[in-house]
């Protein structure tokens, strides 16, 4: 079952999905959250700096493959880190394979994953939960900042590339994946699994949002993503374990920074209010 013919179709589906998720998380139409986001970028320097930092680390990740080519590392650590896992990936695909399941997993892997990232920023901003917004930004930074060195110096190939009995099922839903998407994700960028770490990160933070429906969806997304990375023939079990560990670390640090950032913002706002109140009338 072919879902996507190009990255354009992935982009269109992502835009629609982001709008739906923002509505789910805020209970409002998505333009209200978009307005809150743009307003925060304009009026808050700290908000803007955190957002720019997230964009910067994603740009670095985008050029990671070019850095890989420049380093020209020839060794392969797949046998040492994951090659001992046996035939369970082939068993998983054979046991659960269906065209509908393949389409669902591909949709969550390509569309829902990135849509939850974008929607999270909009939801926490609209709800004025700056602690979670700052925590989310920092957690994303840590995920990418710690994963990229592994991708550069600890090359682990995807399961389908190594295991002759495992098929790369993504091509059934997105036939041009290798041409259109592969430039964003190297074939030996497995350890740790960023899809695991970021989806678990988003779920852990959603649990603290106080929005029950958003928390339930974020955890459902994480479970489906983790199943998908195995079912589609991409990641090893060790990649997933490392991803979960990375998520736990990123969220722990992110929440601490988020608390500090929120507290410093309130102190700064209080100081400005006192300063205005202390000025003589007419000055």
DSSP SS3 for 282: coil
Cα–chain-centroid distance for residue 221? 11
**What confidence score (pLDDT) does residue 8 get?**
94
167: CB partners within 8 A, 6+ apart: 93, 160, 233
Q: Is residue 280 part of a domain?
A: no
Q: Is residue 239 part of a domain?
A: yes
**What confidence score (pLDDT) does residue 217 get?**
98
Whether the predicted pLDDT of 23 surpasses 50: yes
Which among 119, 109, 129 is positioned nearest to 202, based on CA atoms?
119
Q: What are phi and psi of 94, to 5 degrees?
A: -65, -40
DSSP SS3 for 189: strand
How confident is the model over 82-135, as pLDDT tens digits?
878 888 999 999 999 999 999 999 999 999 999 999 999 999 999 999 999 999
Query: What is the mean pLDDT of the segment spanning 167-182?
Result: 93
Q: What is the pTM of this model?
A: 0.90
What percentage of the chain exceeds 90 in pLDDT?
68
Give 257-260 contacts, CB < 8 A, sequence gap 24+: 257/134, 257/135, 257/138, 258/130, 258/131, 258/132, 258/133, 258/134, 258/135, 258/136, 258/138, 259/131, 259/135
Whole-angstrom distance, CA of residue 65 vs CA of residue 72: 10
**160 in Cβ contact with 178 (< 8 Å):** no
Whether the predicted pLDDT of 275 surpasses 50: no
Mean pLDDT across the chain, nearest whole number? 90
**What confidence score (pLDDT) does residue 46 get?**
87
Q: Is residue 110 part of a domain?
A: yes
H helices within 27-87, ranges in order? 30-43, 45-62, 64-71, 78-81
Q: What are phi and psi of 156, to 5 degrees?
A: -130, 120
Q: Is residue 36 part of a domain?
A: no
Which residue range is the domain that position 197 belongs to? 94-268
**What confidence score (pLDDT) does residue 276 get?**
53
**What confidence score (pLDDT) does residue 218 get?**
98
DSSP calls for 71-104: HT-----HHHHTTTSTTHHHHHHHHH--HHHHHH
Q: Is residue 15 part of a domain?
A: no
**What confidence score (pLDDT) does residue 255 get?**
95
**What confidence score (pLDDT) does residue 267 get?**
56
Strand locations in the chain, DSSP E?
none
**What confidence score (pLDDT) does residue 182 get?**
83
Q: Is residue 11 part of a domain?
A: no
Q: How many domains does the chain contain in total?
A: 1
CB atoms within 10 A of CB 272: 10
**What confidence score (pLDDT) does residue 173 get?**
96
Q: Is residue 111 part of a domain?
A: yes
Whole-angstrom distance, CA of residue 73 vs CA of residue 239: 20
Q: Is residue 249 part of a domain?
A: yes
**What confidence score (pLDDT) does residue 265 get?**
63
DSSP SS3 for 157: coil
**What confidence score (pLDDT) does residue 279 get?**
57
pLDDT category of residue 278 using cuts at 50, 70 and 90: low
Whole-angstrom distance, CA of residue 178 vs CA of residue 271: 54
């Amino acid at each position: 079952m072919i879902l996507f013919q190009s990255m354009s179709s992935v982009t269109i589906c992502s835009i629609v999905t982001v709008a739906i998720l923002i509505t789910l998380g805020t209970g409002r139409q998505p333009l209200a959250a978009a307005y809150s986001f743009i307003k925060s970028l304009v009026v808050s320097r700290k908000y803007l700096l955190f957002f720019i930092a997230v964009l910067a680390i994603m740009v670095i990740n985008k050029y990671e493959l070019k850095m890989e080519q420049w380093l020209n590392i020839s060794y392969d650590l797949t046998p040492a880190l994951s090659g001992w896992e046996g035939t369970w990936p082939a068993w998983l695909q054979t046991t659960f394979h269906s065209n509908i399941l393949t389409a669902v997993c591909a949709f969550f892997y390509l569309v829902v994953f990135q849509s939850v990232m974008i929607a999270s920023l909009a939801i926490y901003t609209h709800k004025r939960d700056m602690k979670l917004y700052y925590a989310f930004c920092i957690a994303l930074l840590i995920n990418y900042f710690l994963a990229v060195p592994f991708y550069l110096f600890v090359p682990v190939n995807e399961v389908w590339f190594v295991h002759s009995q495992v098929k790369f099922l993504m091509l059934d839903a997105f036939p041009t994946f290798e041409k259109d998407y592969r430039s964003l994700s190297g074939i030996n960028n497995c350890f740790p699994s960023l899809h695991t770490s970021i989806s678990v990160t988003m779920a852990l933070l959603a649990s603290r949002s106080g929005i029950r429906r958003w928390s339930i969806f974020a955890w459902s997304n994480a479970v489906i993503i983790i199943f998908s990375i195995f079912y589609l023939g991409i990641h090893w079990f060790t990649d997933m374990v490392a991803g979960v560990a990375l998520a736990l670390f990123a969220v722990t640090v992110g929440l601490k920074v988020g608390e500090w950032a929120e507290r410093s913002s309130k102190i700064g706002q209080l100081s400005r209010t006192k300063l205005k109140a202390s000025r003589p009338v007419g000055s």
